[in-house]
Amino acid sequence: MKLVRKDLEKDNAGQVTLIPEEPEDMWHTYNLLQVGDSLRASTIRKVQTESATGSVGSNRIRTTLTLCVEAIDFDSQACQLRVKGTNIQENEYVKMGAYHTIELEPNRQFTLAKKQWDSVVLERIEQACDPAWSADVAAVVMQEGLAHICLVTPSMTLTRAKVEVNIPRKRKGNCSQHDRALERFYEQVVQAIQRHINFEVVKCVLVASPGFVREQFCDYMFQQAVKTDNKLLLENRSKFLQVHSSSGHKYALKEALCDPAVTSRLSDTKAAGEVKALDDFYKMLQHEPDRAFYGLKHVEKANEAMAIDTLLISDELFRHQDVATRARYVKLVDSVRENMGTVRIFSSLHVSGEQLGQLTGVAAILRFPVAELSDQEDESSSEED
């Protein structure tokens, strides 16, 4: 993401002009937009024209519109963003108050104006514009006959390809069909890796599977690379890292990212940090439940006691339509930072973010046990009885 201009007033009202450069920047843009904001961007509008003879024709004309945002639609797989709203600025082709949908695209400038730019939104702009945040990881999660090729970016897990091949079972005295099908499966996975993984950007490729599938696959891949003199794979051999996972499905990627060998290799990536934080929370919940809280009310009570060491919060909560609810989450984040706590904002498109979403989207690891809240609830419920 490229920041072209930033004009903010003292009361944090103002506008920002940005150019999204990569597909992932569209996800950042989606998180910046809110209903009620004003968006100015170039768009195409179908305009009806009437000639002197009275015949009516229609032309597609490129024009710049300013919309008051009413609806936002994001397609995570295609990384496309559509913003619907009403025109709020005089335009030669579009009446005031007329509805229009702008499709935001990479490498096309837009200006976003808000009445209130809060700390969470401003931090997201900083992250999106900082190239160090895009230390990317690729993953091949596989089992016999099924493989997912994923890209793990700082803010989302993208499934780039899914390979499925029917593998016949081994028969007594005849394994040729099984072996041929397995070889065909491995070959398709190798092709998908070459097609979808950009080794100039990716610093590590995780190959995760149950059993010995990953070892057999890597042996096959590099044997074929030597035979065919595939320089791309041979030069990047050191980037491949084999780890265990329970299956070849996408959700098993979390286990692969939790592996100590992986976390040391990816210590500077946001994805590994999120997975470790969530793992620490689950361990704390198991061993010291008084130091692991989740749910907004419980976490706010812990924050009042200045007990929060690490706050885990999903970015989905900051897209809440109700301004007061959103402000409540922003206030919580700011308060934890003021009290020298760590805040980790999870992406709802990451496997770790999906899991946090199942825990209400907000959780906290505490510095010291806080048992009073659960005691108070017990007392109040007994009084009601």
Domain ranges for the chain, please list them: 2-129, 136-268, 271-377
Whether 334 has a pLDDT exceeding 60, the answer reads: yes
Domain 271-377, classified CATH 3.30.420.40, yes or no: no
Give the burial class of 132: count Cβ atoms within 10 A of its Cβ; 0-12 exposed, 13-18 middle, 19 or more buried: exposed
pLDDT the model gives residue 92: 86
Residue 186 banded pLDDT, cuts 50, 70, 90: very high
pLDDT the model gives residue 135: 46
Q: What is the mean pLDDT of residues 327-338?
A: 93
Domain 2-129, classified CATH 2.30.30.870, yes or no: yes
Q: What is the mean pLDDT of residues 138-165?
A: 87
Q: What is the mean pLDDT of residues 10-24?
A: 87
Whether 383 has a pLDDT exceeding 50, the answer reads: no
Number of Cβ within a 10 Å radius of residue 219? 12
Which own/partner contact pairs does 162-165 have at CB distance under 8 Å and 24+ positions apart? 163/188, 163/189, 163/192
What is the C-alpha to C-alpha distance for residues 230 and 253, in angstroms, rounded to an integer? 27
Q: What is the mean pLDDT of residues 123-130?
A: 81
Residue 374 banded pLDDT, cuts 50, 70, 90: low
Q: Which residue has the higher pLDDT, 64 or 157?
A: 64
Compute the mean pLDDT over every residue in the chain, rounded to the nearest whole number. Answer: 86
What is the C-alpha to C-alpha distance for residues 305 and 308, in angstroms, rounded to an integer? 8
Whether 377 has a pLDDT exceeding 60, the answer reads: no
Among 275, 273, 271, smallest CA distance to 258 is for 275
- Residue 289's contacts (CB-CB under 8 Å, 6 or more residues apart) are none
What is the C-alpha to C-alpha distance for residues 105 and 22, in angstroms, rounded to an integer? 9
What is the C-alpha to C-alpha distance for residues 149 and 253, in angstroms, rounded to an integer? 11
Residue 27 banded pLDDT, cuts 50, 70, 90: confident
Number of Cβ within a 10 Å radius of residue 198? 9
DSSP-assigned states of every residue in 98-150 = -EEEEEE-TT--EEEEES---HHHHHHHHHHH-GGGG--EEEEEEETTEEEEE
pLDDT the model gives residue 50: 75
Indicate if the alpha-carbon torsion angle 208, 209, 210, 212 is positive or negative: negative
Q: Which residue has the higher pLDDT, 333 or 372?
A: 333
The single-letter code of the amino acid at 184 is R
Residue 77 banded pLDDT, cuts 50, 70, 90: confident
Q: Are 35 and 83 in contact (CB under 8 A)?
A: no
Among 44-48, 150-154, 213-217, the range scoring the smallest mean pLDDT is 150-154
CATH architecture of 136-268: 2-Layer Sandwich (3.30)
